[in-house]
Structure 1
Amino acid sequence: MNTAGHAPATTRPGLELTPFRGLRYDPDRVGSLAAVTSPPYDVVVRPDGLHHLQSADPYNIVRLILPQAETPSARNKQAAETLRRWLSEGVLAADPEPALYVYEQRDGDGMLQRGLIGALRVSEPTEGVVLPHEDVMPHVVADRAALMRATSANLEPLLLTYRGDGSTAATTMLIERVAERPPLLSTTTEDGFGHRLWAVTDPDDLARVQGDLAPHQALIADGHHRWATYRRLRAEHPSPSAWDYGLVLLVDTARYPLRVRAIHRLLLGLPVAEALSALDGLFRVRRLDLPLTEALEALADAACEGNAFLFAGDGAFHLVDRPDPALLARTIPAEHPAAWRTLDATVLHATLLEHVWHIPEDSPAHIAYIHDTVATVEKAERDGGTAVLMHPVREEVVRDLARQGVTMPRKSTSFGPKPASGLVLRALDL
Structure 2
Amino acid sequence: MQLRSFQGLVPTPELAPQVAAVPYDVVNRAESKALGESNPINLIHVDRAEIDLPDSVGDYDDAVYAKAVENFKKLQADGVLVREAAPCMYLYRQVMGEHAQTGLVGVCNIEDYENDIIRKHEKTRKVKEDDRTRLVDELSANTGPIFLTYRDHAGVLALTKKHETEDAPINDFVAPDGIRHQVWRLPAETCEAISKYFAEEIPLAYVADGHHRSASAARVGKERRDNNPNHTGQENYNWFLNVLFPASELKILPYNRAVKNLNGHSLQEFLEKIGAIFSMDPNGKKTPEKAGEACMYIGGVWHTLNWEPTPDATPEDALDVSILQQRVLAPVLGIDDPRTSDRIDFIGGIRGTAELEKLVDSGSHAVAFSMYPTTVSQLMDIADAGQIMPPKSTWFEPKLRSGLFIHTLDN
Q: TM-score, normalised by structure 2?
A: 0.79
Alignment equivalent of 1:373, drawn from 351, 358, 363? 351
Aligned to 1:54: 36
Aligned to 2:316: 340
- Deviation at residue 349 of structure 1 after TM alignment: 4.3
Aligned to 2:78: 89
Q: Which amino acid aligns with 1:122?
A: I
The answer for unaligned runs of 5 or more in structure 2 is: 226-230
From the superposition, tell whether residues 402 and 274 of structure 1 become closer, same or farther in structure 2 (CA, over 3 Å): same
**CA distance in 2 between partners of 1:50 and 1:363 (Å):** 24
Which whole-Å deviations, capped at 9, do the CAs of 1:183-226 have from their partners, x for residues lacking one? 22111112333222122242x33221111112311122222222
Would you say 1:419 and 2:403 are equivalent positions?
no
**CA distance in 2 between partners of 1:246 and 1:311 (Å):** 43
From the superposition, tell whether residues 85 and 276 of structure 1 become closer, same or farther in structure 2 (CA, over 3 Å): farther
- Deviation at residue 118 of structure 1 after TM alignment: 0.8
Aligned to 2:191: 206
- Deviation at residue 408 of structure 1 after TM alignment: 1.5
CA contact (8 A) 2:89 2:186 kept: yes
Aligned to 1:12: none
Would you say 1:295 and 2:283 are equivalent positions?
no
- Deviation at residue 51 of structure 1 after TM alignment: 4.6
**CA distance in 1 between partners of 2:67 and 2:295 (Å):** 41
Aligned to 1:233: 220
Structure 2 counterparts to residues 234-249 of structure 1, below 5 A = 234-238=221-225, 239=231, 240=233, 241-249=235-243
Aligned to 1:363: 340
Would you say 1:176 and 2:161 are equivalent positions?
yes
Which whole-Å deviations, capped at 9, do the CAs of 1:391-411 have from their partners, x for residues lacking one? 211222222232222222132
Alignment equivalent of 2:209, drawn from 205, 210, 222? 222
Would you say 1:186 and 2:167 are equivalent positions?
no
From the superposition, tell whether residues 266 and 428 of structure 1 become closer, same or farther in structure 2 (CA, over 3 Å): farther
**CA distance in 1 between partners of 2:355 and 2:138 (Å):** 32
From the superposition, tell whether residues 322 and 124 of structure 1 become closer, same or farther in structure 2 (CA, over 3 Å): closer
Would you say 1:263 and 2:239 are equivalent positions?
no
Identity %, equivalent residues: 24
CA contact (8 A) 1:134 1:412 kept: no
**CA distance in 2 between partners of 1:380 and 1:242 (Å):** 50
CA contact (8 A) 2:281 2:305 kept: no
**CA distance in 2 between partners of 1:77 and 1:289 (Å):** 56
- Deviation at residue 102 of structure 1 after TM alignment: 1.4
| More deviation, 90-99/141-150 | 141-150
**CA distance in 2 between partners of 1:133 and 1:275 (Å):** 34
The answer for unaligned runs of 5 or more in structure 1 is: 1-14
Alignment equivalent of 1:251, drawn from 245, 248, 254? 245
SS at match of 2:159: helix
From the superposition, tell whether residues 250 and 283 of structure 1 become closer, same or farther in structure 2 (CA, over 3 Å): same
Q: What is the number of equivalent residue pairs in this alignment?
A: 385
**CA distance in 2 between partners of 1:62 and 1:259 (Å):** 25
From the superposition, tell whether residues 383 and 100 of structure 1 become closer, same or farther in structure 2 (CA, over 3 Å): farther
CA contact (8 A) 1:272 1:311 kept: no
**CA distance in 1 between partners of 2:337 and 2:327 (Å):** 12
Q: Which amino acid aligns with 1:63?
A: H
Aligned to 2:3: 17
SS at match of 2:157: helix
CA contact (8 A) 1:34 1:190 kept: no
Q: Which amino acid aligns with 2:246?
A: D
- Deviation at residue 35 of structure 1 after TM alignment: 3.8
Would you say 1:43 and 2:22 are equivalent positions?
no
- Deviation at residue 79 of structure 1 after TM alignment: 1.9
**CA distance in 1 between partners of 2:375 and 2:75 (Å):** 41
Would you say 1:65 and 2:47 are equivalent positions?
yes
Q: TM-score, normalised by structure 1?
A: 0.76
**CA distance in 2 between partners of 1:388 and 1:145 (Å):** 35
**CA distance in 1 between partners of 2:113 and 2:240 (Å):** 14
- Deviation at residue 52 of structure 1 after TM alignment: 4.5
| More deviation, 381-390/171-180 | 381-390
- Deviation at residue 412 of structure 1 after TM alignment: 0.9
- Deviation at residue 116 of structure 1 after TM alignment: 1.0
SS at match of 2:396: strand
Q: Which amino acid aligns with 2:125?
A: M
SS at match of 1:237: helix
From the superposition, tell whether residues 157 and 310 of structure 1 become closer, same or farther in structure 2 (CA, over 3 Å): farther
From the superposition, tell whether residues 289 and 423 of structure 1 become closer, same or farther in structure 2 (CA, over 3 Å): farther
